[in-house]
Homo-oligomer: A and B are copies of this chain.
């Protein structure tokens, strides 16, 4: 939007020029679609997914593949792929119309349902995998710690402490997710506090040499 051409915007009381109003609506819609494109990008989806969702979200009625191709100036193949991706995420659903071979799509407009879906799916795909891998490492390290001595035991214990910190965090993430999805209260003060305690405890049991570790900062 160019500032230099802002003149007509400064005349909000001008007669309801239909062409101009149409244009306003169109512009708002475009802005919105672009914004959601960026959001999607930002959250690790791709731009088109966000734009598609936005287009559907702003449409009072379901759209067909070709509608979206026109609206977003993309290719059919691309829209097809991305709309199905949105479906898998539970963000969009198909509508069947009687005696109409076309597929119609509409957005999941209950945003909390949409977000819950996203978060749960991501939890399933990523978070839990990482937790598993982390837990595996922690168990291995505990065995090492039990058997080893000296240097190695120290390293193992240090690794253990740090990995536990992350595990606590991931578990809190799960907790947060559950509350978000099912509704409930979350207390961040205690979450922060509990993670600090791990740090302090474990540090206490470290030997002198390790103590120096974080001191040399200053």
Known: A43-B44, A44-B42, A126-B42. A57 touches B162 (CB 8 A): yes
Interface centre among A149, A165, A188 (most CB of B within 10 A): A188
Bound-state CA distance A66–B56 (Å) is: 50
A92-137 residues with Cβ-Cβ distance < 8 A to B are 95, 97, 106, 109-112, 115, 122, 126, 130, 133-134, 136-137
Select from chain B the residue with minimum beta-carbon distance to A125.
Answer: B42
A156, B25: Cβ atoms under 8 Å?
Answer: yes
Q: Mark A191-215, 1 if CB is under 8 A from B, else 0.
A: 1100110010000001000110111
Interface status of A77 (Cβ within 8 A of chain B):
no
Which of B70, B71, B97, B214 has a CB less than 8 Å from the CB of A61? B214
A61, B211: Cβ atoms under 8 Å?
Answer: yes
A194 to chain B, nearest CB (A): 10
Interface status of A148 (Cβ within 8 A of chain B):
yes
B195, A111: Cβ atoms under 8 Å?
Answer: yes
Q: Which residues from B are CB-within-8-Å of A2?
A: none
Which of B67, B111, B133, B163 has a CB less than 8 Å from the CB of A217? B67
Which of B18, B35, B95, B109 has a CB less than 8 Å from the CB of A165? B109
Q: Which residues from B are CB-within-8-Å of A158?
A: 58, 60
Interface centre among A39, A106, A147, A185 (most CB of B within 10 A): A147
Interface status of A159 (Cβ within 8 A of chain B):
yes
19 further contact pairs, Cβ within 8 A, besides A27-B140, A60-B213:
A16-B147, A18-B152, A21-B144, A24-B141, A25-B144, A25-B156, A31-B133, A31-B137, A32-B137, A38-B130, A39-B130, A42-B122, A57-B166, A59-B214, A60-B214, A61-B215, A67-B214, A71-B217, A185-B189
